[in-house]
A and B are shown apart, each in its own frame.
Chain A
Amino acid sequence: MSREEMDALARERLVGIARGWYDQMRDGIVPFIRLPTRTKRNIAYDDASEVWKYGEKESTRAAANEKGAVHLLKMAYLIGFLKQQLVENRSSTLRELYYISEGWKKAKFAAQDESNLLIEDLEIITEVQREAFHLRPEEDGASIFGSLRIRETTRRGVKEMHCQDDVGEAGYPIPNNVDNLEFVDHDAKFVIAIETGGMYARLMENGFDEEYGAILVHLKGQPARSTRRVLRKLNDSLGLPVVVFTDGDPWSYRIYASVAYGSIKSAHMSELLATPQAQFIGVQPSDISDYNLPSDHLTEQDISALKAELTDPRFATDYWRNQINLQLEMKVKSEQQAFASRGLDFVTKEYLPKRLSEMGVI
């Protein structure tokens, strides 16, 4: 779809929401809008796309009380602003948007969370991504290192570079708009997405990318949308298997889940963001005992997060149930760098090759 077509579609969909309200009010109906319920209880596995999407449950937001009315008022102001932005061919960041609402009186946002959520609501209703509203994410994407040649359309023209030869130690930084990115060629067997910077550096230092033909992707904690889109694109267009390497604690499993299954917050875009084929490589709770890794005790929050995961449909597999129950029994967690206790090369020489061959990746 061309940029013009995309703009027209986004504008039409946004104005469509307002038109719905206009008609409701003209007919003497208190304006309302329906949205899927955005909780983990309302995400369902979609067989066709192999990702988790919102289910059937819907909630209605109506202007029948002050809170609901203010909510719709804010949404109306937001739609008005985005429409104007599309008309004038301008763009803004989420943060700027939050500040712009300063002059909206009753429709002013109380915090940026609120405007972010409203944008997500609009993405869900219009089935158009926020980028189409000319909204730029300000979270920076993470970085890539490995045998991959890319072509990026930047504001200063088209650039082509190799993610091993043409970049420094930090790797190639993933841009915000992945649509401007093209993979030219590669010499890799798989992609390994890594939660922490320490482990990313360890793999690079040990030459893991060259030895095993790996593309290293640093997730920087919970990955940004652009990072997740790149992983999906590497898997989709290059057919490379993706493995996810995180710490061995409940929060890290959620990082894996958002890569592989899609996140609850952005379940409406799972098809673009999630990589259903992504596999979890570790740290598995069983590794903690198998390799006798140094560990910390689980905190109260860790335990309740693990218990919450047991009721999360995305973790409803035998593998995860076994691992999570095992961890609840052991009551400990380990970081991915705990492997260093067995020597600096242990992770690249022993652990990863063994796991990768077990998983059939190498």
Chain B
Amino acid sequence: MVLAEDLAKQQRSISVAEFFEKNKHLLGFDSPTRGIITTIKEAVDNALDACEEAEVLPDIFVGIRKVDAEVYRITVEDNGPGIVPENVPLVFGKLLYGSRFHQIRQSRGQQGIGISAAVLYAQLTTGTPARVVSRTGAKALAHRFELMIKTETNEPEIVSHEEIDWDRTHGTRIEIQFKSTLAAKKRLVDYLRLTAIVNPHARITADIDGEVTTFERVTSEVPPCPKSILPHPHGIEFGALKRIAAASTGTVDEFLVGSFSRVGKKTADEMIALAKLKPSRKVNKLESDELKRLLDAMQAVKVPAPPAQQCLSPIGEDLICKGLEKEIQLDFIKARTRPSTVYGGHSFIIEAAIGYGGKIPPEGNAQIFRFANRVPLLYQQGACAITNCVSQVNWKSYGLSQQGLPTGPALIMVHVASTNVPFTSESKDAVASIPEIEREVVLVLQELGRELKSYLSRRDKKKQQDDRARAICSIIPEIAVKVSEIVELPLVDTSPIEGKIMRKIVAKKRTNNGQVHIDVNNYTAREVTFVLYNLSRDAAADADPRPDFVDDIDGEYNKVWRCTLGAGEAWQVVYTGAGDGSLDLRGVEDGMKVVVDLDV
């Protein structure tokens, strides 16, 4: 007994702040390298959420300055609506304080832990308070706070508070100093780039130790701010039902219609009948077992999916493509937004894009970009349901090689937008495997795979045609020269082959001993009028025939000839020059022409 009493003395409650102080990794502060990224991520997420709520185009500044050997000062500033002075200490100095926790809608932040965890991390490693400046509008002065968190109680401690002038009319600025390193600088820039891709309406400027990078916006339309909706009867658990029932004053049917989305009178009656309850019962008077029956009934009755249009904010196919193209040079890009669907009463929309070629590294695994509610997921790629889905798809049938993950110059982006993204942990690194979500991801990737395949086969066909054209227009004539020499007969004319095989308009350029020859042959069955553009450093003063037009730009001459050729006719121009530059034939549809530069 004495032992139990001794033990009892040591037993006490712990505050959430204390808990997370000891379990930093749960929030993504496992290492100094990661801490910097997590802090910026939390601050930028908050800034974007705030801007969207106020429907302003986000203009976000991220600053990182080395203050001391191991200490960095992180600054994040936005042009959002600002925070009223009373709330500033709570938002930044208290864990689990936030506006979005009780709302059902798509948002980046949820529990109100992130930024205050960064404040906590700062005071833990350097002991310095966080500095917050916020201004709610032109008429108000800005307020500057210096804040810390009392970990034993999880309450904010205001070190100082003053009103100041600030050049921004509205917005919030936070400065935090903590021990860190810039070892993951590339990852940090990647994170900002990815954030810019999925937030194409935001401008993000980063100043990392004096090095400034700007991610410009591609649209100036603010996406509509998702509206919160009532909980869906299929997505509710017993505890939550009990709590909202206790707070309600109406009857059971009023409660069902008024507190849940998509429940009308008819659906409510059906649920009540199934639960064997009287519709007129006061809902706050229901016994536990009656509530349990009601919950079962709510989940047994068919209810339409929650109103996704209202509570979700997908990026959209067009903006995904624009966002990706702006940051990464691609030869091909296609995006898809799936119709909304639902898991366990939570709405979600899967969006995805596939990119190919351009500046994507041609070797190794395809790049996989994962996003949840417009936030890039940087860590734990292997544990993520999205990655798992990517490797489930049979990419070989879409023209990509595959070793688990697809390989080659491809980029795969997947965005999960939901009122409740199922993460595997609090640090929100990986999406948990939920069959409904995985199904949608696989479907969208298959749709995109088919698009990729048709692009690749079009490209291959074009390549094959070019290859053929090169062989016929450039190498066969050389074979002809050699063969004629061997058999000691006059040079065999290979234009019949060209004509027979190509049946097109063929333009050829060949430079020999300082003479540039450009030949155009019309092997089609009808008359064509073409315009020939030859851009090079040759002035071609002695060109025969004379160009119809010459444009001189910085020593480059764009020579233009316009000509009409009957079926089977040929045309030629000769001039003195080096024969560099390029050749282009216009006025003839793409499939009908072959342009070969034999000097290349």
Contacts and interface: CB of A to CB of B under 8 A. Distances in A.
Interface of A: 15, 18-19, 21-22, 25-31, 63-70, 72-73, 76-77, 79-80, 83, 106-107
A162 to B, nearest CB: 48
B483 A63 contact: no
Contact of A76 (B464, B467, B486, B494): B486
A22 B492 contact: yes
Contacts of B485: 80
Given A25-B497, A26-B492, A30-B501, A66 B483 contact: no
Contacts of B380: none
Contacts of A107: 478, 482
Given A28-B497, A29-B497, A79 B486 contact: yes
A67 B466 CA distance: 12
B497 A65 contact: no
B471 A68 contact: yes
Interface of B: 464, 467-468, 470-472, 475-476, 478-480, 482-487, 489, 492-494, 496-497, 499-501
Nearest to B489: A22
A70 B493 CA distance: 18
Contacts of B484: 22
A76 to B, nearest CB: 4
Contacts of A73: 475, 478-479, 482
Contacts of A21: 479, 483
A65 B501 CA distance: 12
Nearest to B468: A65
B474 to A, nearest CB: 8
26 contacts: A15-B487, A18-B483, A18-B486, A18-B487, A22-B483, A22-B484, A22-B492, A25-B476, A25-B494, A25-B497, A26-B492, A29-B497, A30-B472, A63-B471, A63-B472, A63-B476, A68-B471, A69-B471, A69-B475, A70-B475, A73-B475, A73-B479, A76-B483, A80-B482, A83-B486, A107-B482
Given A30-B476, A106-B478, 14 more contacts: A21-B483, A22-B483, A26-B492, A28-B500, A30-B501, A63-B471, A63-B476, A64-B472, A66-B467, A66-B475, A69-B471, A80-B482, A83-B486, A107-B482
B471 to A, nearest CB: 4
Given A18-B487, A25-B497, A30-B501, A76 B482 contact: yes
A22 B497 CA distance: 12
B484 to A, nearest CB: 7
6 pairs of A and B residues whose beta carbons are closest in the complex: A28-B496, A69-B475, A69-B471, A18-B486, A76-B482, A66-B471
A80 B467 CA distance: 26
B471 A25 contact: no
B479 A63 contact: yes
A274 B463 CA distance: 45
A257 B478 CA distance: 42
A41 B486 CA distance: 35
A360 B469 CA distance: 65
A69 B467 CA distance: 10
Contacts of B482: 18, 73, 76-77, 80, 107
Contacts of A64: 468, 471-472, 501
Given A26-B492, A28-B497, A69 B476 contact: yes
A18 B480 CA distance: 10
A133 B480 CA distance: 23
Contacts of A70: 471, 475
Contacts of A22: 483-484, 487, 489, 492
A122 to B, nearest CB: 13
Nearest to B465: A65
Nearest to A30: B497
Contacts of A72: 479
B492 A25 contact: yes
Contacts of B487: 15, 18-19, 22
Nearest to A23: B492
Contact of A31 (B467, B476, B489, B499): B476
Nearest to B470: A66
A6 to B, nearest CB: 20
Contacts of A15: 486-487
B471 A65 contact: yes
Contacts of B479: 21, 25, 31, 63, 69, 72-73, 76
A28 B493 CA distance: 9
> B479, B482, B487, B499: which has the most chain A beta carbons within 10 Å?
B479
A30 B471 CA distance: 10
B483 A25 contact: yes
A107 to B, nearest CB: 8
A18 B470 CA distance: 22
A19 B483 CA distance: 7
Contacts of B470: 66
Nearest to B476: A63
Contacts of B483: 18, 21-22, 25, 31, 76
Contacts of A19: 487
B475 A63 contact: yes
Nearest to B499: A28
B397 to A, nearest CB: 26
A73 B472 CA distance: 12
A195 to B, nearest CB: 41
A25 B478 contact: no
A215 B485 CA distance: 51
A73 B499 CA distance: 20
